[in-house]
Structure 1
Amino acid sequence: MTVSPLTEHEKQEAITSFSALGVCTQLAEAAAALGWKKPSSIQEQAIPHLLQGKDVIGLAQTGSGKTGAFSLPILQELLDKPQPLFALILSPTRELAIQIAEQVEALGSGIGVRAVVLVGGIDMMAQAIALGRRPHIIVGTPGRVVDHLSNTKGFSLKGLKHLVLDEADKLLDMDFEQEIDQILKVVPRDRRTQLFSATMTNKVQKLQRACLVKPVKVEVASKYSTVDTLRQQYLFVPAKYKDCYLAFILNELSGSTSMIFTRTCDNTRRIALMLRNLGFGGVPIHGQMSQPKRLGALNKFKSGERNILVATDVASRGLDIPSVDVVINYDVPQNSKDYVHRVGRTARAGRSGRSVTIVTQYDVEQFQKIEHLTEVKMELFKAEREEVLILLERVNEAQRLATMQMKESDYGGHAAGRKRRSSDGDQNEAASSKMMKVGGRSGRHANRK
């Protein structure tokens, strides 16, 4: 799922447009090399202020390009005044921290930038060794950063020049206030601070007053807006045939990279197994999986080894996955903000995308609220009932096998301690393949005869 390289003409236009913001040629070329055709709205607004040394508070949704907005000015100043432990970027989730670090290193590859990721679920000693190598930029979750400040000998942020709080509303929602306060006590007062948030809550305003000095406020989109390049569709289905309609949608959109959002961890596991039993390349990610399993699942999806990611809302914010073609809301989100975050996985950076929301008889009121607050009238995804129900027998069998596989996994988990928590369904992959072969029909288009 890599971004298509730019043509020579597009590359020159990209370099020119980033240079116009004050970005040096070397970093403008790096942005173009990542496939960025032009600065996003948040980048256009934030970068000039940051290059002037001002604190910035940015209100922008996921997928707006804010990682580039805060990274490019940091890298440019680092290029002029190189020093270790130059910047600290705080993120609410481990996955987002890892992805920010990847993007920072990609942008700074030409100038030899080194970044280290400090997140839970990964060995502290290995992270301490990486800190000992004096990286330029630290990206981490607040809890693990505080752990290292307390326990890693020689690690100090006294020389820090830049502090970034990304997804600040989520940081505060996840009760990181105490850790952020501890970090603010040990970083220099004479620093540049950037705060990015999807929404301006009372908690975010309080944090802004505590850590920013005369900040410039930049805002990209309203709280409930979605991008114009997103085609938003819905499908009204009887609840008992929900899985059947999901299989139909995936068949119709075959060849696309898809994210499917569900409400519960168990449903995420069940759907991923069911889809694998039907021959789709599905992999789940949810809060009950161990960190290595979550990263493994995410990497399979990002590399293209799997083209369907089934996720709970834990993954609907911050996951920087380029070129997701389709977002499917298997469960209608419980509030409109979650809907915006979910569909923000597609139609990013000016590209087109599609979302399909499956609406049952129990979801109509919530669906209407989403349409009202986003001010978007979704179009109907066409599906003939008779054509959908042709799949029913195979879907029922796949459901039965998935339920059985989950029970086997959970039974094994009790015996082994905590196997269920780390289960991402891969232990059932071989079994699924055999079951497909027994059925005599495998592959995505097997039900299209």
Structure 2
Amino acid sequence: MTEEKKTADTGENQDNGPETLPEISFDELPEELKEACGRAGWDDIMPVQKKALPYVMQGRDVMVQARTGSGKTGAFVLPLLDKLNADSKDCQALVLVPTRELAKQVAGEAEMLAGARGINVVSVYGGVGYKSQLEAFSEGAQLVVGTPGRVLDHLKNGALNFDKLKVLIFDEADRMLSIGFYPDMKRIQAFLPKRLFGAFMFSATYPPVVLRLADQFLHKPDFLSLSGDQVNVAEIENVFCEVPAMGKERYLLRLIETENPTSAIVFCNTKRNVEFVAAVIKQFGFDAEPLTADLSQNKRESVLNRIRSGQLRILVATDVAARGIDIPELSHVFMFEPPEDPESYIHRAGRTGRAGASGTVITLVDLVQKAELKRIAAKFKLNLIERKAPEDEDVAAIIEERVVALLEKKRRDLTYFHGERISRFLDMAKRFGEEEDTLVLMAMLMDEFYQSSLHSPPELPEEKGAKPKPQGGEKKGGSGGSGGGKPSGKPSGNPKRKRRPRRRKPKDD
């Protein structure tokens, strides 16, 4: 962990830059924010709100490490109440979220906190018609909460504009990247004004790809965490899921689909399990290869070169076969079973979280193996987190979000003649959706489309200096960072560096 990634609340200002901000208490809140808390039934504020509110209220760009249920929505909605002008119908604040459910949840909480202030909150997301969203815009939409794809649709159609936008918020940034929204987020950036009051990012984890996203949208952000005096962006999260002894491979598949790793190693204890698990993962559409000690040197090098170069997403291996492997930015390690040798757990987990990156280690255990894993955790003083294994309905919801995002992206890029071709099938699609037998045919096409997307990870922010990919011909505008210039992308936890002054607009603009 480098000194430059210290949180803003350490109180250490080694380069004499902007002062760190102390936490705020409920009693110190402005009266109108106390009233908003009262509408929500809060007689106190959550730890994330105490830490983040002072920065958000001052418009200092900030990255906040916070999980769902921590109270993060209040941390960014409360300060908006005195920033939004109810007399203007223009969009003044944008909250980007990964899913329709989160869009509805955030919008609902924002409406409750705003009360009768005349602020209209509009949630927009894909997979539904446009009519109700367009009608809501016509009545005014001071605060828009939406998924990046549908927000981009409205921008391109002229139903939404950001000329008066003051605040940009990313909620659950890591999940947005996992679903595949990065290309849409970059295209939205072309519509952002050159100056913002502030840009704020909330995410449960901060792997390198999320830090690079912040580099592109935020200006010298502070970094706040609830976990202690420092934000450990290089932290390895050790998770386990208790599952039945039989059918473990089904739970592994659900985890892979919900996590959507950029690249991963699945560890098994035996060659037989390696070959079985790799075959099952491949049957479900993922690009996976087994790696065992039986492979020839040429085959072994070929497989390793593929995963190192990003051409292979999932490697399934034994401990012996994976010894000495170093894969840059390996996002996940899955353990189909705990290792027989406790030392091997550290070896396996160490494949991720390399060179300052963060990583996730997920182990599948049955009841007996759970006790074994806890002994390993006690031996090495690991903080094990138990997580409920995803069920089929959890996976179905995530797949729906991804398929909608991918299909709507394709729709935005349709040529005139492609649209003409598609129009020939609209009546057929409607008829097919009305009968159970023909509905299966449509499901087959959707499955084929989804499976074709699994061989490659979602497009993600690239490292600084990498050749940028073309983003399409949107209208030209500012870079979107709240500082207007090129952001440093590094959490400034010593915020006393000289900062470019922000242009704050009066409330009646």
TM-score scaled by length of structure 1: 0.50
> Helix, strand or coil: the match of 1:144?
helix
CA spacing shift, 1:124–1:241, aligned 2, 3 Å: closer
Alignment partners' CA distance in 2, 1:181 and 1:88: 15
Q: Which residue of 1 aligns with 2:124?
A: 118
Amino acid at match of 1:58: V
> Helix, strand or coil: the match of 2:190?
helix
Aligned pairs (5 A) from 1:238-249? 239=245
> Helix, strand or coil: the match of 2:116?
helix
Q: Does 1:359 align with 2:366?
A: yes
Structure number with the bigger relative contact order (C-alpha 8 A, sep ≥ 6) is 2
Q: Which of 151, 171, 174 lines up with 1:169 in the alignment?
A: 174
Contact 1:92–1:167 (CA under 8 A) maintained in structure 2: yes
Contact 1:101–1:115 (CA under 8 A) maintained in structure 2: yes
Deviation at 1:83, TM superposition (A): 5.6
Deviation at 1:26, TM superposition (A): 2.5
Contact 1:59–1:219 (CA under 8 A) maintained in structure 2: yes
Q: Which residue of 1 aligns with 2:226?
A: 220
Contact 2:63–2:222 (CA under 8 A) maintained in structure 1: yes
CA spacing shift, 1:37–1:374, aligned 2, 3 Å: farther
Q: Which residue of 1 aligns with 2:50?
A: 44
> Helix, strand or coil: the match of 1:186?
coil
Aligned pairs (5 A) from 1:197-212? 197-212=203-218
Amino acid at match of 2:383: E
CA spacing shift, 1:376–1:179, aligned 2, 3 Å: closer
Deviation at 1:184, TM superposition (A): 1.2
Q: Which residue of 2 aligns with 1:187?
A: 192
Contact 1:238–1:361 (CA under 8 A) maintained in structure 2: no
Deviation at 1:142, TM superposition (A): 0.4
Deviation at 1:141, TM superposition (A): 0.4
Q: Does 1:98 align with 2:90?
A: no
CA spacing shift, 1:419–1:166, aligned 2, 3 Å: same
Alignment partners' CA distance in 2, 1:413 and 1:88: 40
Q: Which residue of 2 aligns with 1:142?
A: 148
Q: Which residue of 2 aligns with 1:392?
A: none
> Helix, strand or coil: the match of 1:139?
strand
CA displacement 1:172-225 (0-9 Å, x = unmatched): 222211111111111112111111111111111111111112322111126578
Contact 1:55–1:212 (CA under 8 A) maintained in structure 2: yes
Alignment partners' CA distance in 2, 1:337 and 1:119: 29
> Helix, strand or coil: the match of 1:78?
coil
Amino acid at match of 1:359: D
CA spacing shift, 1:85–1:332, aligned 2, 3 Å: farther
Alignment partners' CA distance in 2, 1:368 and 1:141: 42
> Helix, strand or coil: the match of 1:110?
coil
Q: Which residue of 2 aligns with 1:108?
A: 114
> Helix, strand or coil: the match of 1:105?
helix
CA spacing shift, 1:366–1:188, aligned 2, 3 Å: farther
> Helix, strand or coil: the match of 1:164?
strand
Aligned pairs (5 A) from 1:16-415? 17-20=25-28, 22=29, 24-78=30-84, 84-151=90-157, 153-191=158-196, 192-221=198-227, 239=245, 359-361=366-368, 375=383, 413-415=436-438
CA spacing shift, 1:262–1:107, aligned 2, 3 Å: farther
Amino acid at match of 2:163: K
Contact 2:240–2:384 (CA under 8 A) maintained in structure 1: no
Amino acid at match of 2:151: V
Contact 2:25–2:50 (CA under 8 A) maintained in structure 1: no
Alignment RMSD (CA, Å)? 4.2
Deviation at 1:238, TM superposition (A): 6.7
CA spacing shift, 1:262–1:36, aligned 2, 3 Å: farther
Segments of structure 2 that go 5 or more residues without pairing to the other structure are: 1-23, 255-335, 339-348, 350-358, 387-434, 445-509
> Helix, strand or coil: the match of 1:145?
helix
Deviation at 1:113, TM superposition (A): 2.1
Alignment partners' CA distance in 1, 2:137 and 2:337: 43
Deviation at 1:264, TM superposition (A): 6.5
CA spacing shift, 1:369–1:171, aligned 2, 3 Å: farther
Alignment partners' CA distance in 1, 2:216 and 2:244: 51
Contact 1:87–1:138 (CA under 8 A) maintained in structure 2: yes
> Helix, strand or coil: the match of 1:57?
strand
Q: Aligned residues, how many? A: 267
TM-score scaled by length of structure 2: 0.45
CA spacing shift, 1:332–1:76, aligned 2, 3 Å: farther
Amino acid at match of 1:220: L
Alignment partners' CA distance in 2, 1:31 and 1:414: 52
Q: By percentage of residues, which structure has more helix?
A: 1
Contact 2:163–2:193 (CA under 8 A) maintained in structure 1: yes
CA spacing shift, 1:362–1:118, aligned 2, 3 Å: same
Q: Which has the larger radius of gyration?
A: 2
Amino acid at match of 2:191: V
Amino acid at match of 2:180: D
> Helix, strand or coil: the match of 1:88?
strand
